Chains A and B, each alone.
Chain A
Amino acid sequence: MEDFKNLKGEGLRRVVAVVSMIVTLYYLYWRVTETFNESALFFSWALFIAECFGTLTTFLFFFAVWRPISRVVPEPLAGRTVDVLVPTMNEPVSILRKTLLACNDLKYPHRTLLLDDGNRPEVKTLCEELGCVYLARESHEHAKAGNVNFGLKHSTAEFIAIFDADHAPLPNFIDRLIGYFKDEKVAFAQAPQEFYNIDSFQHRADHEKKYVWTEQGLFYNLIQPGRDRWNAAYFVGSCTLMRRAALDDVGGFATSSITEDMLTSIRIHQKGWSSVYHNEGLAYGLAAETINPFHIQRKRWGLGGWQVFFKANPFFVRGLSFPQRLCYLGSLIYPIEGFQKFVFYVTPPIVLFTGILPMNAVDITYLLHFIPYYALSLFAFNEMGRGYAGYLLLEQFSMGKFFTYLESFFSLFLPRRARQFKVTPKGRGTSTPYPLVVPQALVFAGSVIAIVWALFQLLLGLRGDEFIIAVNSLWALFNSGLAVAIILYARTKFYQRRGDFRIQDAVPVFFTYSDGGKPVRRLAAADDATETGMSLVAAGTIPDGGDLDLEIMLPRKTLAGKGHVMHVKTVKSGADVIARAGVAVTGPSGEVDVMSRYLHESAVSKFLAEYATRYLTYIESRIAPRLERKARARRVRAYLPAVVRGKSGGISYGVIRNISQSGYLLAAREDLAEGDRVAVEAVVGDRNVPLPGVVVRVLRHPSEDYPECVAGVAFDKADIGAVNRILAIADAMVVLW
């Protein structure tokens, strides 16, 4: 949870924002008074309005995030009744199973109700198996909102928790949120929607730097905490705990928009209820994995936004405070961005093809006005974004969405049936992404052809506006870059064909295979896993295509399963062979469920915690005291299985995750403490390599059911030859990933 109180340079960044707003207003004044091209007024106005829209959204953003708040988690209220509602339409049973297992594991007493608008017998069977209440309507009017309202009719609980079918809560979800309802005015407490599949279409992950950016990160990490300051955080349809009385007060979930969440929020705030945003990941789900579901989701949001804009415009409805009106306005006008970006994308080709300018001239005077305004706006946006903004990535997604938003606007004029709620498809799907990137391809082609055309004209002496051509060509190239990035990313994501996202982890696994009828049992490390597969790493051989008996050593539990080696990659380091195998795993459903719970409740949060989601802004990096970097030996990623002989003399197993000349990081199943002497042996082939050491640092994962200890171990009387051998193996292993 980000503590905004302790962020450096808050005062300075607000000064920057104010200066930027003043400069922007001056720039717009100058634009409107001195730069309009009288002979191309429509073009001039179009560009000017697009710039004004950008200014409006920036100012609303600055207002919303002016002073974001960090909540202190209150003590949970005891003895309240809670119903957990999970609406579903067509999500796969495998996904529903994970969600329902997680709902069942919620520590706070509750009932789980699955609301199936798909009326599927297999889902009913699943509910019976897992002990959840199965509810299905005969008619399906008002889509998700109608389905949840139907669930409300079957619920008498004081509080309602809502999760999308692909969003599985952590066991403490209700405990962390229910304390906020001590204040009788609180209608709902919203937690962020966290997504763990960081290879999705809307994520950009840098695995080397352990940094991940997500398109919705700015909204969940900053805008919602910012709006919370103005009592304007809004319900996002999932990961929410709601007071039943507040829902009854507004007549249940709003059904007149396909984005029922925003409209319901507006109505709740209109009635004087307050809201809470709890900025801590308490549920994990799947983000749109390819451009196809992303497009469907954003089109729905865009259409819903337009519907709310016309039907319950926050500027005209009663009961909202002025800050709430501004915050809602900021969230409602974003589909207009489609028109704004369209203007920005077609302006350079028009200028390059025709020589017609949307302003008097593009000369040094223009640049002297434009560059300070634009640079300052970017700087202020970056600063006010508190390290979540990622301007260029946002621009990239704007390119990805502009036509989607235009479509959503024009679909307002389609018959009601054609604009019904469409569920975001889960999983990768099989639809080709190419039809969806045609608008981006057109932007690319139009821009490049326009550049070539204009340069030819310049070289042939048919035109003399060389600077205008140069500047617009650079602008067109920027747009082309955005388009290429989206096209390539859509393509890459489409061809990334692994069934489920593999969660990085470090689990010791024994695998047994038959070697000429003789069973061979060896220790390996799983470096990633799902319920149905894992990657095993071993310093030794793994039989390609062979069947394995697996003993997966989770913290406190060992699971048994069957595995089949799908592929093996090997590398040599001297005489040592290191293998990494992709293994399809099957096992009894009880074991699979345990694996699913472990992955969801422990592995996901461990894995995501390793990735930074924000960067230091310029002001922070200048003000924050420079971290004193100790000279650290080079660390090499390893994933080597290890035998750990603890203080008691007993044996446990672990995984060496990285190693250097001075020590290594050990994921242990045994609870270790600083100062402990450990006799660790790396398992290399048939022999173990002793790496004795002293624990110098311990990180404990707080999961109640799956406690895990990650220890930093410094070598103590280790044989230098052994250390170098393991380092050489680790170096060689790099090519396996």
Chain B
Amino acid sequence: MKSAHRRLLLLAILLYGLIVSLVDLDYNSVFIDEAFQITMGQEIIRGEPCLGCPHHTGSVMIWPVLAALADSAGGIHAVRILTIVIGLALTVIVYATASMLFGGSLGLTAAALFMCTGQTLYLMKLGTYDMIAAFFIGASFFMFVVSASVTAPWHRNLAIVFGAAALFLAAITKYLLPVFVPSLVLYVLFKHGIKRTALFCVLPLAVLGALYLGFDRYAPRMQVLGQVETYANIKVPLATMFDWAFRWIALVLLLAVFGIFHERHGKTAIAFIALSSPIIILHLVTRAEQSVNKNMIFALIFLVPAAALGVEHLVKIFSFGAKHRIVRGFFTVSILVIFWAYGLFNLRWLERQYPDVTPVIEFFETKGFDGMTVAFNGWDGVIYDYVLEDRYPNARFLNMFEIRKTDSPRPAFAERVDFVVCEDLFYGKMSPCSQFGPYFEDDFVLLRNFTIEHSWGKTDALIYGRR
């Protein structure tokens, strides 16, 4: 295929991602993490103490600051567009990585597969740190691949250093990502030997890590450990975890397994599957289901090039040596179409995974007032803080745990509460409505009962008002 055609096809793939993301940018109300991270960024920019930073971002300021800047320019839409741009850049990186290793056609296949997965398309329009963290991981891997293909020693060393820096940024952007450090360092070790790896990969990582820990404003260590502990407390059964983890990568993994049998690059496919495994293993070992759907994008970065090999191998099998180009074309397109439909289905599922609390927001827009105090059984008060800040600058949206009276003989709030919002199953899974019923049943009356439809079922959002 001519390089001009390849470039056109790559543009078409990017355009597809852009359109699919842009046409439905308002697919859901603001997600809790989006609200948290933008709020953190605003605090950092304003120079205020960012108390949520350690807990919600692992104390990394890169994404919150970028998100807050985008938010100031165009609200949540601008934040989501920013992640779309980062996602497109990551797709180009995936293309470049696969092209460098396997040639332009397979690079295009890898880019198409990446752009067609539900996770990529979903995270591209989710204004959280996941996409930028994935970008750093992708960039790091790309630089390591570059380092193995350039010949000049100083180019090689420079590429390793850049790769290490990107890996460091990934690791501090999302606190789960240090899990990739050992495997990627091993990759560099395998390609370049001990000396070069120690000097240009491990040493920069160590220096950057020490600087980070030394100058960190909000030490994340205890918070991260606390987070892990929380996750550990709500372990799901292994079989369930297995299903949840593999649900998002099953088809890519299946194609990648076929990539193992690729005539020329089978061994590389094995290496890529191994490189993708740390995040999967982490979830399986800890059995923590939090963000498993989002975290699988980090595995996809490595799996997709192997899956591209799998597609080529499958096409070879399916076309049974037929020399007609149309036969090979037919099977290539067929596999990609199956993958595309699968990805689009997953995207629709992911878009409705989190509750769309628009009805609750609309309720407060009409029935709320400035200075009101709203108690929630979850932690999603920050959503309303973010969305209603302009309308009700003095309103407070609090978790019921924070305002319950501890010295009272009967359950009661420690301060005046105007509204209570009870959402079960999702935010309420750690503190269900029923647990808090005694706090407000006597003094409050049910005002609204919204049914929120998710991809996994329906939940209720109950709004109580003071009698």
Question: Chain A interface (Cβ within 8 Å of chain B)?
Answer: 204, 363-365, 367, 371, 392, 396, 448, 451, 455, 458-459, 461, 464, 466-467, 469-471, 473-474, 477-478, 480-482, 484-485, 488
Contacts and interface: CB of A to CB of B under 8 A. Distances in A.
B44 to A, nearest CB: 40
B320 A470 contact: no
A473 B243 contact: no
B324 A455 contact: no
Given A367-B254, A474-B314, A481 B320 contact: yes
Given A392-B317, A459-B345, A477 B322 contact: no
B335 A467 contact: no
25 contacts: A363-B243, A365-B239, A365-B242, A367-B250, A371-B257, A392-B320, A458-B342, A461-B348, A464-B345, A467-B250, A467-B342, A469-B341, A470-B251, A470-B342, A473-B334, A474-B254, A474-B314, A477-B331, A477-B338, A478-B317, A478-B318, A480-B318, A481-B317, A484-B319, A488-B327
Interface string B134-176: 0000000000000000000000000000000000000000000
B341 A477 contact: no
Given A371-B257, A488-B327, A482 B341 contact: no
Contacts of B320: 392, 396, 481-482, 484-485
B416 interface: no
Contacts of B247: 364, 467
A481 B319 contact: yes
A470 B338 contact: yes
Contacts of B345: 458-459, 464, 466
Contacts of A478: 317-318
Contacts of B337: 455
A467 B251 contact: yes
Interface in B305-345: 314, 317-322, 324, 327, 331, 334-335, 337-339, 341-342, 344-345
A480 B339 CA distance: 17
Contacts of B348: 461
A364 B342 contact: no
A528 to B, nearest CB: 21
Contacts of A467: 247, 250-251, 342
Listed residue (B250, B254, B322, B345) with the most chain A CB atoms within 10 angstroms of its CB: B345
B346 interface: yes
A45 B339 CA distance: 30
A546 B441 CA distance: 109
Interface in B265-280: none
A548 B345 CA distance: 71
Contact of A364 (B250, B257, B334): B250
Contacts of B246: 364
Contacts of A471: 254
Contacts, number: 80
B321 A204 contact: yes
A104 to B, nearest CB: 41
Nearest to A371: B257
A116 B121 CA distance: 74
A339 B265 CA distance: 37
B170 to A, nearest CB: 27
Nearest to B339: A470
Interface string B360-380: 000000000000000000000
Given A459-B344, A474-B254, A474-B338, 5 more contacts: A458-B345, A459-B341, A480-B318, A484-B327, A485-B322
A481 B335 contact: no
Nearest to B318: A481
A-B CB proximity, top 5 nearest: A481-B318, A485-B320, A364-B246, A455-B341, A466-B345
B335 A477 contact: yes
Contacts of B324: 488
B242 A473 contact: no
A30 to B, nearest CB: 15
Contacts of B322: 484-485, 488
Contacts of B239: 365
Nearest to A452: B337
A488 B328 CA distance: 13
Contact of B242 (A364, A459, A464): A364
B342 A466 contact: yes
A451 B334 contact: yes
A395 to B, nearest CB: 9
A466 B348 CA distance: 12
Listed residue (A448, A470, A471) with the most chain B CB atoms within 10 angstroms of its CB: A470
A440 to B, nearest CB: 12
Contacts of A451: 334, 338
Given A451-B334, A455-B337, A467-B251, A477 B342 contact: no
A670 B73 CA distance: 91
Contacts of A371: 257
B317 to A, nearest CB: 6
Contacts of A459: 341, 344-345
A474 B317 contact: no
B317 A458 contact: no
Contact of A477 (B251, B254, B334): B334
Nearest to B338: A473
Contacts of A455: 337-338, 341
Contacts of A469: 338, 341-342
Contacts of B318: 477-478, 480-481
Listed residue (A461, A474, A485) with the most chain B CB atoms within 10 angstroms of its CB: A474
Nearest to B118: A466
B356 to A, nearest CB: 16
A466 B346 contact: yes
A487 to B, nearest CB: 10
Nearest to B242: A364
A493 to B, nearest CB: 14
A299 B321 CA distance: 27
A198 B320 CA distance: 18
A277 to B, nearest CB: 31
Listed residue (B247, B320, B324, B331) with the most chain A CB atoms within 10 angstroms of its CB: B320
Contacts of B334: 448, 451, 473, 477
A518 B403 CA distance: 118
Interface string B237-258: 0010011001100110010010
Contacts of A485: 319-322
A459 to B, nearest CB: 6
A204 B243 CA distance: 43
A101 B169 CA distance: 83
Nearest to A481: B318
Contacts of A484: 319-320, 322, 327
A611 to B, nearest CB: 17
A471 B341 CA distance: 12
A41 to B, nearest CB: 25
B243 A364 contact: yes
A481 B331 contact: yes
A215 to B, nearest CB: 14
B254 A458 contact: no
Contacts of B319: 481, 484-485
A477 B331 CA distance: 8
Contacts of B344: 459
A464 B257 CA distance: 24
Interface in B59-81: none
B318 to A, nearest CB: 3
A481 B6 CA distance: 27
A471 B246 CA distance: 14
Listed residue (B324, B341, B342, B348) with the most chain A CB atoms within 10 angstroms of its CB: B341
Contacts of B242: 364-365
Nearest to B344: A459
Contacts of B342: 458, 466-467, 469-470
B369 to A, nearest CB: 40
A464 B341 CA distance: 12
Contacts of B338: 451, 455, 469-470, 473-474, 477
Contacts of A470: 250-251, 338-339, 342
Nearest to A456: B341
